[in-house]
C-alpha cells in the first residue's frame, strides 16, 4: 500500500510585495487633538477643580504664613509663654492651633470676599482661571496693604531696585508680601515687649527680696513663677492678649 501511494510535491508560492506607506495627511484636514478644561455649560470640569484644590493645599502653609495674620498671632502667643517662664507650656501644637483658628476668625471677611468675587464666579463659568486669580487677589491685597507700613514697602522697593509705585494698588506681589511680613513681625514684637514688662517687674522684685534675705543660691524663677501665673490668671491674660490681637486688625 505504501508503495502504491503517490508522493505529493509542494508547489512554490511567490511572496506578496509590500504595501507602500500611506502619505501623511495635510495639516488642518483632520486628526487634531484639542483639550477643553470646561464642561458643556462652561463650568470647569471636576478634574480641573480637583487639581486646583490639591495645588492650593500644597501651597497652603506658605500662604498661611506669608499672607495672613497667623505669623503675628503665633509670635505674640509664643512671647507670652516665654514671659511666663514656661518654655513648653502650652505646647507648640496648642499655640499653633489657637493661632490657626484666630487667623481664620480675623481673615474670615477676606475669605468671604474671595469666595464671592472669584471662587463662585469661576465655578459657575462666569470667569476664566486668570480672571478668577485677579479677582481673588484684590481682597487679599487690600488686607495686606491695610496692615503694612509705607516704610516697609519703601524698604523692599529700594532693596529690589524698582521704581516707587504710583499708588498702593500698583505695589507688586514680590514687594508687598515681604513688606507685610516685616510689618507683622514689628507689631508682634511691640506687643510682646508690652507683655514682658509686668513679668519683668515681678522678677526684679523677687530677685531683690531674695538678695536682701541672703538666699542667693535659690533660683528667683522658682519664687516668681507662681506669682506670674497668679497675676496672669487674675487679669484674664489670655483674654486680654487675644482681644488685643483681634482689635489690632479691626482698624483695617
With both helix axes pointing from N to C terminus, report the angle between 237-250 and 92-114 in degrees, rounded to the nearest 10. Answer: 30
* 180 is a domain residue: yes
Residue 181 lies in domain: 46-250
CA dihedral 49, 111, 69, 172 (to 10 degrees): 70
C-alpha cell at 24: 501623511
Give pLDDT, residue 55.
65
Q: 241: Cβ–Cβ under 8 A, 6 or more apart, which residues?
A: 76, 77, 80, 191, 195
Q: Decide if 210 is inside a domain.
A: yes
> Does 34 reside within a domain?
no
Residue at 3 is within a domain: no
Average pLDDT over residues 190-205: 86
Q: What single DSSP character describes residue 115? A: I
Domains: count for the chain? 1
The pLDDT value recorded for residue 63 is 66
Residue 229: the pLDDT is 85
pLDDT tens-place string over residues 52-87: 666 666 666 666 677 788 888 888 888 888 888 887
Q: Give CA–CA dist 14/18, Å, rounded.
A: 13
Residue 20 lies in a domain: no
Domain-located, residue 6: no
Is residue 188 one of the residues assigned to a domain?
Answer: yes
What is the CB neighbour count within 10 angstroms for residue 214?
8
Confidence class for position 41, pLDDT limits 50, 70, 90: low
pLDDT score for 1: 47
Residue 26 lies in a domain: no
State pLDDT tens for residues 139-193: 888 888 888 888 888 888 888 777 777 777 777 777 888 888 888 889 889 988 8
Amino acid at each position: 500500500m505504501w508503495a502504491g501511494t503517490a508522493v505529493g510535491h509542494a508547489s512554490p508560492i511567490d511572496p506578496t510585495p509590500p504595501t507602500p506607506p500611506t502619505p501623511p495627511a495635510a495639516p488642518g484636514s483632520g486628526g487634531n487633538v484639542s483639550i477643553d478644561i470646561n464642561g458643556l455649560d462652561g463650568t470647569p470640569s471636576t478634574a480641573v477643580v480637583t487639581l486646583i484644590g490639591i495645588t492650593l493645599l500644597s501651597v497652603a502653609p506658605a500662604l498661611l504664613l506669608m499672607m495672613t495674620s497667623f505669623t503675628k498671632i503665633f509670635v505674640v502667643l509664643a512671647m507670652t509663654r516665654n514671659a511666663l517662664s514656661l518654655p513648653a507650656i502650652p505646647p507648640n501644637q496648642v499655640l499653633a492651633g489657637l493661632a490657626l483658628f484666630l487667623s481664620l476668625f480675623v481673615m474670615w471677611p477676606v475669605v468671604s470676599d474671595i469666595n464671592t468675587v472669584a471662587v463662585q464666579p469661576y465655578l459657575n463659568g462666569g470667569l476664566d482661571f486668570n480672571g478668577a486669580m485677579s479677582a481673588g487677589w484684590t481682597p487679599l491685597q487690600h488686607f495686606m496693604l491695610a496692615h503694612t507700613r509705607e516704610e516697609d514697602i519703601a524698604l523692599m522697593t529700594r532693596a529690589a531696585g524698582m521704581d516707587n509705585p504710583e499708588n498702593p494698588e500698583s505695589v507688586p506681589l514680590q514687594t508687598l508680601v515681604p513688606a507685610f511680613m516685616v510689618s507683622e513681625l514689628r507689631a508682634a514684637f511691640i506687643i510682646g515687649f508690652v507683655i514682658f514688662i509686668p513679668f519683668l517687674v515681678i522678677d526684679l522684685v523677687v530677685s531683690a527680696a531674695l538678695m536682701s534675705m541672703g538666699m542667693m543660691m535659690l533660683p528667683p524663677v522658682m519664687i516668681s513663677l507662681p506669682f506670674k501665673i497668679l497675676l496672669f490668671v487674675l487679669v484674664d491674660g489670655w483674654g486680654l492678649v487675644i482681644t488685643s490681637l483681634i482689635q489690632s486688625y479691626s482698624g483695617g
